[in-house]
Amino acid sequence: MTKELTINSERLWNSLQELARIGAYEDRATGLTGVNRQSLTDEDAEGRRLLIDWLRDAGLAVTVDQMGNIFGRREGSEPDLDPVYTGSHIDTVSTAGAFDGCLGVLGALEVVRSLNDRGSTTRRPIVVAAWTEEEGVRFGTDMLGSAVAAGRLSLDYAHALADAAGKTLGDELERTGFKGEHPVLLDPPHAYVECHIEQGPVLLREDTQLGVVTGGQAISWQRITLGGRAAHAGTTPTELRIDAGLAAARIVVKVREMVDSGDYGRLRATVGHIATSPGLPSVVPDRAELTVDLRNPDDGCMVAAERDLAAFLETLPESQPGLAVETRRMARTNQVPFSGEIQNLIATSAEELGYSTSHLMSGAGHDAQEIAAITPTAMIFVRGQYDGVSHNPREYSTPEDCAAGVRVLAATVEKLAS
Ligand SMILES: [Zn+2]
């Protein structure tokens, strides 16, 4: 066994901070500086260019595929062998911190930089990957770039997705110069490993530094549109109203009741977007739009929850005849178990380096869940502070914990590539 790789934690930390300056904004709710670098905006394009500069400076051969996914390849001593992939995403939500996704990409870059420092060549090539539109906040489908690369969603479907202003992902790829030539369908790599912040409180509460991720839970997103009838707030008798806002409120309460019932295992349900029109104080809403995000570590419980929610939606017009209910699925993935072999490699590497670990399932969706469909995959979680808050400028992991995660990433990737 080769001597373990020494990573440069200061260089890793500085890179995280430098990338976070692109798309930085003053967050009024927290009084902190946050990051808003949504996929394929000008800010994202600037972040991508910086990343590509760093990949090239590290001697990697950079390619961009038809989804704008970015790859930096470090040649192995046996270039014909399937490479080991490692990475994550650098797009963010509108109220992000510096770590979500970026730690996995810049951590992978640090692995390569450290191999360069030591002058080591691995047997297999190593590829650093940055996937497009992981967050799904701009074009409505999360883990999009990796889902297309893994063949679950089609390129045409992805290119046709539009943001709130009607701009399509395909056009935005073109506009920002990131519609690459490289075919999007990924040749199955030898393995994929992703380092990511936990975005939850488990590691902090268990007082362990790192998480060995056992898999990802099922995710279901849908947009529900309710059609009612606009009417005068003062003169329209209650029994004559078709109030789209009332129906939306019932859905919000219903999904919470489903969670509280305990009938659907460890279901989580969130209505994160809700809007009514015309949005005036004196007019009964004629239209309401909301999104329902369901998560479940058990596929059977997820199917039951989706079925019962659909049945509930069908009953809504009973109390308000004439109400129109339309649903559109935005995203849907099953529960994904990660490779036991790579989990063992991660756990052993952490132990060798003296870090404590817990095994846990991911609450959030990650690119690794998509890539797991085509190759053995696992993830390393890095502990967060402040109850692991994320998608918030308060998101924070200490330099020591980030370095711990990347050290274990380096050891795992090196073993997989040797
Ligand atoms: Zn992420």
Rounded to the nearest whole angstrom, what is the distance from the C-alpha of residue 295 to the centroid of ligand 1?
16
Rounded to the nearest whole angstrom, what is the distance from the C-alpha of residue 198 to the centroid of ligand 1?
9
Rounded to the nearest whole angstrom, what is the distance from the C-alpha of residue 131 to the centroid of ligand 1?
10
**Mean per-residue pLDDT, 372-398:** 95
Which residue segments constitute the domains of the chain, with CATH numbers given?
9-216+335-417 (3.40.630.10), 218-333 (3.30.70.360)
Rounded to the nearest whole angstrom, what is the distance from the C-alpha of residue 89 to the centroid of ligand 1?
6
Rounded to the nearest whole angstrom, what is the distance from the C-alpha of residue 413 to the centroid of ligand 1?
20
Q: Are 203 and 359 in contact (CB under 8 A)?
A: no
Rounded to the nearest whole angstrom, what is the distance from the C-alpha of residue 180 to the centroid of ligand 1?
23
**In this predicted model, what pLDDT tens digit does every residue of 86-102 receive, in sequence order?**
999 999 999 999 999 99
Rounded to the nearest whole angstrom, what is the distance from the C-alpha of residue 44 to the centroid of ligand 1?
15
Rounded to the nearest whole angstrom, what is the distance from the C-alpha of residue 190 to the centroid of ligand 1?
23
Q: Are 176 and 44 in contact (CB under 8 A)?
A: yes
| pLDDT class of 3 with cuts at 50, 70, 90 | low
Percent of the chain with pLDDT over 70: 99
Residue that has been written with the tokens 């009024």 in this structure: 28
**Mean per-residue pLDDT, 207-223:** 95
Q: What is the pLDDT of residue 317?
A: 97
Residues 117, 136: Cα–Cα separation, whole Å = 36
**In this predicted model, what pLDDT tens digit does every residue of 126-173 receive, in sequence order?**
999 999 999 999 999 999 999 999 999 999 999 999 999 999 999 999
| pLDDT class of 4 with cuts at 50, 70, 90 | low
Q: What is the pLDDT of residue 57?
A: 98
For the record, the structure tokens of 124 come out as 């297999």
Rounded to the nearest whole angstrom, what is the distance from the C-alpha of residue 379 to the centroid of ligand 1?
12
Rounded to the nearest whole angstrom, what is the distance from the C-alpha of residue 325 to the centroid of ligand 1?
32
Q: What is the pLDDT of residue 398?
A: 96
Rounded to the nearest whole angstrom, what is the distance from the C-alpha of residue 99 to the centroid of ligand 1?
8
Rounded to the nearest whole angstrom, what is the distance from the C-alpha of residue 56 to the centroid of ligand 1?
24
Residues 210, 349: Cα–Cα separation, whole Å = 11
Rounded to the nearest whole angstrom, what is the distance from the C-alpha of residue 310 to the centroid of ligand 1?
29
Rounded to the nearest whole angstrom, what is the distance from the C-alpha of residue 193 to the centroid of ligand 1?
14
Q: What is the pLDDT of residue 266?
A: 94
Q: What is the pLDDT of residue 2?
A: 47
Rounded to the nearest whole angstrom, what is the distance from the C-alpha of residue 40 to the centroid of ligand 1?
16
Kindly report the average pLDDT of the chain as a whole number.
Answer: 96
**Mean per-residue pLDDT, 376-399:** 95
**Mean per-residue pLDDT, 12-32:** 96
Question: Per-residue DSSP letters for 214-232?
Answer: EEE-EEEEEEEEEE-B-EE
**In this predicted model, what pLDDT tens digit does every residue of 258-288 receive, in sequence order?**
999 999 999 999 999 999 999 999 999 999 9
Q: What is the pLDDT of residue 170?
A: 98
Percent of the chain with pLDDT over 90: 96
**In this predicted model, what pLDDT tens digit does every residue of 282-335 receive, in sequence order?**
999 999 999 999 999 999 999 999 999 999 999 999 999 999 999 999 888 889
Indicate the pTM of the whole model: 0.86
Residue 204 has pLDDT above 90, yes or no: yes
For the record, the structure tokens of 394 come out as 């308060």
Rounded to the nearest whole angstrom, what is the distance from the C-alpha of residue 143 to the centroid of ligand 1?
9
Angle of CA points 407, 410, 411, to nearest 5°: 90
Select from 286, 274, 209, 307 the least CA-distant residue to 242.
Answer: 286
User: Which amino acid appears at position 10 of this protein?
Assistant: E
For the record, the structure tokens of 53 come out as 């500069």
Residue 364 has pLDDT above 60, yes or no: yes
Residue 113 has pLDDT above 70, yes or no: yes
| pLDDT class of 383 with cuts at 50, 70, 90 | very high
Rounded to the nearest whole angstrom, what is the distance from the C-alpha of residue 20 to the centroid of ligand 1?
14
Q: What is the pLDDT of residue 5?
A: 74
Rounded to the nearest whole angstrom, what is the distance from the C-alpha of residue 3 to the centroid of ligand 1?
31
Rounded to the nearest whole angstrom, what is the distance from the C-alpha of residue 78 to the centroid of ligand 1?
32
